[in-house]
Structures are given as C-alpha cells and as structure tokens.
Amino acid sequence: PFVWRVEWALKLKGIAYDYIEEDILNKSALLLRLNPAHQKVPVLVHGGRVICESFLILEYIDETWKQSPLLPQDPYDRAMARFWASVAEGQLLKNAWIALISEGEEKERAIEFATEVLGHFEGVIEGKAFFGGEGIGYLDLAIGWISHSLPVYDEVGSMKILDPAKFPAMVAWTGRFVEHPAIKENLPPRDKLVVYFRNKRSQIMASKSHA
C-alpha cells in the first residue's frame, strides 16, 4: 500500500516514471544504498535526489508538480488531512493487521479498535465524494489501501471490519475510489493479494504456535 499511493499520485498528476520492482524479502543492494536508514520501499529518485517514506514522497510530488493539487490550500484543511492520514496509519492499519494475524481475544480487541477508528472516517467522508472534495486528494491516497486491501484482510481473516451496514459512506467511497481511472489501472490483482496475505497469515500463525 505504501508504494501504491506514490504510483497513484504520479498517475493523477500525469508524471512519467520508471518503476523498479523490489523483493522486500531479498532486498537489493540498490535499495540498501538508496534507503540505508529504513531499508524500505517506496523510494523516489528525482533529479539525482532520493526521497523516502510514502507520506513525505506524496508531499514532495505535490510541491514539485503543481498540477492537480493533492493537499488542500487551506492550512487547517492541510493539517487535518495529515492528521487523519497518521491516524489511519497508526491505528486502523495497525489494528487491522493484528486482527488478520491473530485469534481469540487479541483478534476481537483489534477488530474493535479498527472499527472504532473507521467510524471516525465515516463521519469525515459523509456527504462528500472524496476526502479531497470533488476529486482525489492526499488523504484519499493515504488511505486508499482501505478500498483494496481491507476487504482482502476481512476475507482472509474471516472477519468484517469494513461492514457496509455500519459504514455505508466509507464503502461508497471505496467504490468511487477504485473506479477512478488513475487508481483502477494501477491496482494489484485481488486474487494475488488473497494468496499473499493468506500465506503471510499462515506463516505468522505457525510461528506463534511454535513460540
């Protein structure tokens, strides 16, 4: 999801780029050289300069290429977009992942936390087409993984975090988001995501049982 949001931003702004796939389980010497501090993707290289961390890359892209602005012009709205992006990253994504790879009380507690956070987003998006207003903006890109990954988490983890009955506005937003041409044409195949997360869950659950 961290790489997706960068690709989506580049597509929305019509910026040509070269994409280099990285095996995060077998990191290349190039990645280790470009991002020695965190050794993670995504990494954007522009004009010989290296930018790491997806949220920082989004802001760099937005400030470098002014067309189709991602962040709101109003300082308060910009601050709120950054705030909700950090909430989604630190609380929703974290707890959805814990719910996916756990069972019993730990799983139920993580689901409860994740749905509580999703409730806040339901209130923010209600009455809007996108978090960015009429078009996709910074916050939409920041939490775009919800539209494609969270339903997969739900399926693989036999749970229901993104419940249409509880969060109709969020579910409607996910539909609009994934149907946008810049997004739709740059989504990984769902079946591959299911296989990937099913394998990850099995590996982690197996390691827990042997701990």
Best CA proximity match to 96, nearest among 83, 82, 113: 113
Percent of the chain past pLDDT 70, that is, above it, reads: 100
User: Tell me, what's the pLDDT at 25?
Assistant: 82
User: Tell me, what's the pLDDT at 88?
Assistant: 96
Can you tell me the mean pLDDT for 122-126? 96
In angstroms, the CA 1 to CA 186 distance is: 11
CA atoms within 13 A on the CB side of 11: 17
In angstroms, the CA 178 to CA 175 distance is: 6
What value does the mean pLDDT of the chain take? 95
User: Tell me, what's the pLDDT at 209?
Assistant: 78
Weakest-pLDDT range from 24-33, 53-62, 74-83: 24-33
Residue 31 has pLDDT above 70, yes or no: yes
Q: pTM above 0.75?
A: yes
Q: Which residue has the tokens 């709120």?
A: 80
Can you tell me the mean pLDDT for 127-140? 95
In angstroms, the CA 114 to CA 94 distance is: 8
In angstroms, the CA 205 to CA 211 distance is: 10
Domains contained in the chain, CATH given: 1-64 (3.40.30.10), 75-203 (1.20.1050.10)
- Per-residue confidence at 155, pLDDT binned at 50, 70, 90? very high
* CA 93 to each of CA 67, 85, 103, 119: distance values in angstroms, whole numbers, following the listed order: 30, 11, 17, 14
User: Tell me, what's the pLDDT at 211?
Assistant: 63
- Per-residue confidence at 124, pLDDT binned at 50, 70, 90? very high
DSSP state of 90: I
Q: Which residue has the tokens 């290296």?
A: 50
DSSP lists the bridge partners of residue 46 as 49
Can you tell me the mean pLDDT for 181-196? 93
Residue 210 has pLDDT above 80, yes or no: no
CA atoms within 13 A on the CB side of 30: 11
User: Tell me, what's the pLDDT at 147?
Assistant: 96
